A and B are shown apart, each in its own frame.
Chain A
Amino acid sequence: MTPSLDALCRHCLLPVSRRGFLRAVNGEACQFCCYGCCIAYQVKNGSGDASEAAWFLVRLGVGSFLSMNIMLFSLLVYSGAFSGADRSVLPTIHLLLWGLATPAVLILGQPFLRETWSQARRGRLTSSALIVLGSLAAYGYSTLAVFQRGGHLYFDTASMVLMLFTLGRYLEAAGRARASRDLAPLLAAERELATVLEGGQEQRRPVREVRAGMLIRVRPGERIPIDGLIVEGRSHCDDSVITGESREIAKAVGDAVLAGSINLDGPLLIQSSGSGGESRWAQICRSVGEALRQSSRTQRMADRLVGAFVPIVLALAAMTFLYWVPRLPLDQALLTALSVLVVACPCAVGLAAPMAHSLGIGQLARHGCLVRNPGALEALARARLIAFDKTGTLTAGRPQLVDIASDGVAEDEILARLAALERHSEHGLARAIASATSARGIDPIAAEDVQILPGRGVRGVVQGEAIVAGSAALMRELDWALPCALVERAEVMAASGHSVVFVGWRENALAGRVRAALSFDDTPLPEARATVGALRGLGLQVMLLSGDHAGAAARVAATVGADDWQAGLLPEAKRAALDQYRAHHGAVAMVGDGLNDGPGLAWADVGIAVGSGTDLARETADLVLPVDGLWLLPWVVARARAVRFTILANLAWAFGYNLVAMTCAVLGLLQPILAAAVMAGSSLLVVLNSLRLERLPGPYRPSVPEFATAARPGSEPGPTAQGRSGALALLEAES
């Protein structure tokens, strides 16, 4: 049984590397990255009596019992308790130590020996080879000494080294599982079972076998496995896995539920609205899984170093031995070489990056932010400049009526007629008109024969007269009179970045005439200013790279407080601008909406998509924030920096520690037992240091007064998706 290399460890959710192996737990084949994880997983999930975990703990306990007694007697011998008159008992004590050490080495050394052997058959040397070699050498030498009645005994070394490493690995695995706690619900979709109701019978089936239209029963406390509609029951749901917001939402018959949310308090019967593998939850799971399987540059570097480490250490130990043999008694030289072997175990180096990554990815995911590869986190942490890909990223996508220029007709009359026409449109600008009308308390007039002219405007009949709203081109096409004064006013409006719509109608069966020009403006998001301010507070330069015309870009940039802006950029120009920034600022991050600006996001060192569409698989951004998640950006940057700092601290610690300890060992200043304690402690410290990431504060949502009132309905089209190609013709330049 060999595990597939790109799988994730069942216990700690880190990628199963070359050390990994397969094991059946509770009748299910599970992959683990190491022996420690296998045991720790079984301790948590195994079923008491027969589980291998209990057997492991028994072995660890008995092994500890033996090695502690060995250590105690050895300490007594060293401290001179058996000197003088008691000297005669020494041979008996030695024999006793041998009797204790033999089972101890067998019991504790077996897993390491097995790992070494299975790796050696594949032609690889791992760090467990160092441990096995070290402890067996100590044991072998001491056994000889016992039966030849001479020399020092090192049974304590042999057994304590094994015990400390076993304990270290176990605790390390427990710590790694804790680091991946946040990730578990995000990876559960692939293994989740759904209770399918078919022909009055309930069946447990894998989620991927669920098809649209099937009935699924979800009990309170369970996770809802599929997207669907509630057919029966009422309950509260927690959607935090999908939306990132932990809130109880009341759901009743007819309401839609999301896969991945937790059904809190009532049984539900749900009709599936799509196949199980296509829900956003399943997509998130695949995406997170892929992210965990990838490794960042730092990690690849560390892995390469670890790979090269073992042979180097073996050579170094041999050289140390050869150097000391003529200068010290044989046993001392051997001991020094053993210290080198034991202290060089590079476990901590290999652990430095993956754990911090999985913690960071998990915490971001808990707030709805998806990281698509761990390298993106590191790049974001390095970035000193963040560019917004378009004005739309910072605006609400909800235009508002700003100004009306008319040739003498009352504004209220214009609005009343326009509102009549626009009631038939579901468009962004139509909504702006509707809200302006209702704000002024105008009653719209009834309109007939409303016809939408795609891409140009809308026409209809109000009070028996034809009325048209749309672009200047449409008016010219109809050959309606367009007063010069209005055109001039419209040009001024357009120059300051507003969208302009002309309105005209016939009167008394005369030729149509344009009566007014209305300007609309997309307002910046309420949280945009606070977000940009927070980003600048983090030492980032904030730029706006827009395809809009200069007026709009300048206005938005000034409102949100961006450092600089460039407007009217074509995609190639954006790339050139990014390259230029990169030359000056190092890594560059780019924020977009993820759909229309894929190439730009891909060109940046980190592409960040806010509120992306439903299809994650087509997503090109490295980091995906939830819908309305712009405010999370500063927190994400801070978190990425914390992760990077932790990794660097871990690496510095692990390497520094190894170097200092190895130097001491080569010089003969470090006892092997102390060396083993130092090494087991080193990886434990890396684990604990990474776990500190858990304590960082969650995102803080800036309280903007108009925020609650501005909550937009989820179904409203975004500014780019449909907003610019719909019913009303816009004079606005496309970005």
Chain B
Amino acid sequence: MTYYALLFIAGFAGSFHCIGMCGGFACALGPDGRGAGATSLRHVLYNTGRLSTYCFLGGLAGALGQVICTALGPGTQRATPLLSASLDFGQRALAVVAGLLMIIMALSFFGLRGGHRVSSGFAGSTLVVSLRSLLGRRGFATPLALGVLNGFLPCPLVYAMIAQSASTFDVLSGCLTMAAFGLGTFPAMLAMGGVGRLLAPSWRQRGVRLAGGFILLLGLVTLSRGIMPMMAGHGLHHLWHFA
């Protein structure tokens, strides 16, 4: 549970970053003319759409991790590393890759690398243009669709979490990883819809740093899962679960 709580907090801290890009959409989605209930429903639908995209991506990444592990690893039995400490070669390799990716993403949050430039490209700009044309529409399908498509916007935070999901080597764990993270972003994003006011930049900056710190921590732990000797990994996992 600690693990998911950590992800939730990372999501919460990270949502100060989300406010920059996705918060704009939440604001623009705005209040519904039919009252507070309809407005809440609108924003819950929007965030549900976003969450379902995250879960899907997480599940997919977990499945991918699983496939890679069974392809690389000699063992046939499936191991869920969160529960058992025996890691085979494929899982170790994947953990190293995922951990490194997360550390790189985390560093970009501290402004050490221009990760944003890499992530936004042709597909990203097309998506943003598409999303804008959705904003003016009424009806409850629109916020859901907006949320779903919003979830695919290029975002280093999401990429880092997807890397983490892949390193769980399991569909369910991957999905839950992203779900915990996505739920963490709920409070800020829902508040954005309701309050419709941007937080002071200094606070956003602090939030982004905090999120970077969490991702760095997660990345280091994931990396260590890959490179630590078997026993140490075992010990670490005990630590992990009791922490």
Taken together as a complex, chains A and B put the C-alpha atoms of A691 and B125 apart, in Å, by 15
Taken together as a complex, chains A and B put the C-alpha atoms of A68 and B60 apart, in Å, by 10
Taken together as a complex, chains A and B put the C-alpha atoms of A414 and B87 apart, in Å, by 102
With most chain B CB atoms within 10 A of its CB, the pick from A46, A59, A81 is A81
Which of A49-57, A252-260, A268-276, A430-438 sits within the interface?
A: A49-57
Identify B56's interface contact among A49, A71, A79, CB under 8 A: A71
Identify B134's interface contact among A58, A64, A175, CB under 8 A: A58
Q: Which residue of B lies closest to A80 (CB)?
A: B78
Q: Chain A binding site: helix, strand, loop or mixed by DSSP?
A: helix
Give per-residue flags for B42-82: 1 if the beta carbon is below 8 A from chain A beta carbons, else 0: 00000001001101100110110010000000000010000
Smallest CB–CB gap between A244 and chain B, Å? 27
Taken together as a complex, chains A and B put the C-alpha atoms of A115 and B21 apart, in Å, by 37
A61 & B148 in contact (Cβ 8 Å cutoff): yes
With most chain A CB atoms within 10 A of its CB, the pick from B123, B126, B139, B172 is B126
List of B residues within 8 angstroms of A61 by Cβ: 49, 134, 141, 144-149
List of A residues within 8 angstroms of B171 by Cβ: 72, 75-76, 78-79, 81
A48 & B136 in contact (Cβ 8 Å cutoff): yes
Q: Which residue of A lies closest to B125 (CB)?
A: A174
Is A69's beta carbon under 8 Å from chain B?
yes
List of B residues within 8 angstroms of A68 by Cβ: 52-53, 55-56, 148
Smallest CB–CB gap between B71 and chain A, Å? 14
Give per-residue flags for B132-172: 1 if the beta carbon is below 8 A from chain A beta carbons, else 0: 01111111011011111100000000000000000000111
- Measured as residues with beta carbon below 8 angstroms from the partner, the interface class of chain B is 35 or more
List of B residues within 8 angstroms of A80 by Cβ: 78
Is A43's beta carbon under 8 Å from chain B?
yes
Taken together as a complex, chains A and B put the C-alpha atoms of A283 and B49 apart, in Å, by 51
Smallest CB–CB gap between B3 and chain A, Å? 18
Count residues on chain A whose CB falls below 8 Å from chain B CBs. 35
Is A645's beta carbon under 8 Å from chain B?
no
Taken together as a complex, chains A and B put the C-alpha atoms of A198 and B49 apart, in Å, by 56
Taken together as a complex, chains A and B put the C-alpha atoms of A651 and B37 apart, in Å, by 55
B60 & A688 in contact (Cβ 8 Å cutoff): no
Taken together as a complex, chains A and B put the C-alpha atoms of A175 and B66 apart, in Å, by 34
Is B129's beta carbon under 8 Å from chain A?
yes
Is B215's beta carbon under 8 Å from chain A?
no
Smallest CB–CB gap between B120 and chain A, Å? 15
Is A60's beta carbon under 8 Å from chain B?
yes
A57 & B145 in contact (Cβ 8 Å cutoff): yes
Is B175's beta carbon under 8 Å from chain A?
yes
Is A707's beta carbon under 8 Å from chain B?
no
List of A residues within 8 angstroms of B142 by Cβ: 54, 58
B56 & A69 in contact (Cβ 8 Å cutoff): yes
B130 & A65 in contact (Cβ 8 Å cutoff): no
List of B residues within 8 angstroms of A58 by Cβ: 134, 137, 139, 141-142, 145
List of B residues within 8 angstroms of A76 by Cβ: 59, 171-172, 175
Identify B170's interface contact among A42, A49, A79, CB under 8 A: A79
Smallest CB–CB gap between B25 and chain A, Å? 12
Smallest CB–CB gap between A180 and chain B, Å? 15
A688 & B133 in contact (Cβ 8 Å cutoff): no
A65 & B52 in contact (Cβ 8 Å cutoff): yes
Give per-residue flags for B189-212: 1 if the beta carbon is below 8 A from chain A beta carbons, else 0: 000000000000000000000000
Taken together as a complex, chains A and B put the C-alpha atoms of A688 and B145 apart, in Å, by 26
Report A531-577 residues with CB < 8 Å from chain B CB: none
Taken together as a complex, chains A and B put the C-alpha atoms of A51 and B133 apart, in Å, by 9
Smallest CB–CB gap between A119 and chain B, Å? 27
List of A residues within 8 angstroms of B131 by Cβ: 57
Is B242's beta carbon under 8 Å from chain A?
no
Task: Name A's B-contacting residues (CB within 8 A).
Answer: 42-44, 46, 48-49, 51, 53-55, 57-62, 64-65, 68-69, 71-72, 75-76, 78-81, 170-171, 174-175, 178, 688, 691
Known interface pairs A61-B144, A65-B148, A75-B63; 16 further A-B residue pairs with C-beta atoms within 8 A, sorted by A's residue number: A44-B129, A46-B133, A49-B138, A58-B137, A60-B149, A61-B134, A64-B53, A65-B52, A68-B56, A72-B55, A78-B63, A81-B171, A81-B172, A170-B126, A171-B126, A178-B122
29 of the cross-chain contacts (CB-CB < 8 Å) are: A43-B129, A43-B133, A48-B133, A49-B136, A49-B137, A49-B138, A54-B133, A54-B142, A57-B145, A59-B145, A61-B141, A61-B147, A61-B149, A62-B148, A64-B145, A64-B148, A65-B49, A65-B52, A65-B148, A68-B55, A68-B56, A68-B148, A69-B56, A72-B56, A75-B60, A75-B63, A76-B59, A79-B172, A178-B122
